[in-house]
Chains A and B, each alone.
Chain A
Amino acid sequence: DAGITQSPRHKVTETGTPVTLRCHQTENHRYMYWYRQDPGHGLRLIHYSYGVKDTDKGEVSDGYSVSRSKTEDFLLTLESATSSQTSVYFCATRRGTDEETQYFGPGTRLLVL
């Protein structure tokens, strides 16, 4: 798992509440990613970071924001959770442009009621 942890691992929340998911890595990898996984869709990229304070949108970024204030942490925030954001969220890292392999965290199961 390349030293990647995600917290919380499970969360139940109500529609309209803000939610923050945390990804923490100990490998000093430069790039970090947030994906969501839903049945029939595989993994879809939400946001990614190519350095501290450098982030960009993926294909399903609406309703999500991210922050990366230090190398090891990448936060994903749902500003106002909706039922359509019920999903499993995975964080991934990549060492840098010299290596294309991604390393994944264990995932966070989020249920929005």
Chain B
Amino acid sequence: SQQGEEDPQALSIQEGENATMNCSYKTSINNLQWYRQNSGRGLVHLILIRSNEREKHSGRLRVTLDTSKKSSSLLITASRAADTASYFCATLSGTYKYIFGTGTRLKVLA
């Protein structure tokens, strides 16, 4: 079964608005990562937050991590049509294995 569950499953917003998506996980983690997948393409790494960090920024991306609630959120500010994609969280539990969430499909309307 999937460890990561993302919420919402789909999100549609206007260009310029902020988009927030959430990820919950079940077991202890070393870090949590967010990936983007454009339609028909492979995943691309966006940002990594370690288990001892609470918040991290990268450009228009802001990620938070609450290990007590086993949850993370990804905020994309001032969204653009090019941000239209699916977004996945992934947790690294142990040395090798990644567990991906089911993803949030984001559509940014121009």
Bound: A22/B107 CA distance, A: 32
* With known contacts A48-B96, A50-B96, A43–B44 Cβ distance under 8 A: no
Q: Which residue of B lies closest to A39 (CB)?
A: B102
Q: Which of B2, B92, B97 contacts A42 (CB 8 A)?
A: B2
* With known contacts A41-B102, A42-B100, A100–B92 Cβ distance under 8 A: yes
Say yes or no: is A26 at the interface (Cβ < 8 Å to chain B).
no
Q: Which residue of B lies closest to A1 (CB)?
A: B42
Query: What does the 1/0 interface line of B48-91 toward A look like (CB < 8 Å)?
Result: 10000000000000000000000000000000000000001010
Q: Which of A43, A45, A48 contacts B43 (CB 8 A)?
A: A43
Say yes or no: is A104 at the interface (Cβ < 8 Å to chain B).
yes
In the complex, which residues of chain A have a beta carbon less than 8 angstroms from the beta carbon of B90? 43, 102
Cβ–Cβ contact B42 & A106, under 8 A: yes
How many of A's residues come within 8 Å of B, CB to CB?
27
Say yes or no: is A79 at the interface (Cβ < 8 Å to chain B).
no
Cβ–Cβ contact B102 & A40, under 8 A: yes
Say yes or no: is B31 at the interface (Cβ < 8 Å to chain A).
yes
Cβ–Cβ contact A58 & B97, under 8 A: yes
Cβ–Cβ contact A45 & B4, under 8 A: no
Q: Which of A35, A41, A103, A106 contacts B41 (CB 8 A)?
A: A106
In the complex, which residues of chain A have a beta carbon less than 8 angstroms from the beta carbon of B92? 100
For chain A residues 22-70, which have a beta carbon within 8 Å of chain B? 31, 33, 35, 40-45, 48, 50, 56, 58-59
Which B residues have a C-beta under 8 Å from some C-beta of A?
Answer: 2, 4, 30-31, 33, 35, 40-45, 48, 88, 90, 92, 95-103
Which A residues have a C-beta under 8 Å from some C-beta of B?
Answer: 1, 4, 31, 33, 35, 40-45, 48, 50, 56, 58-59, 90, 92, 97, 100-107
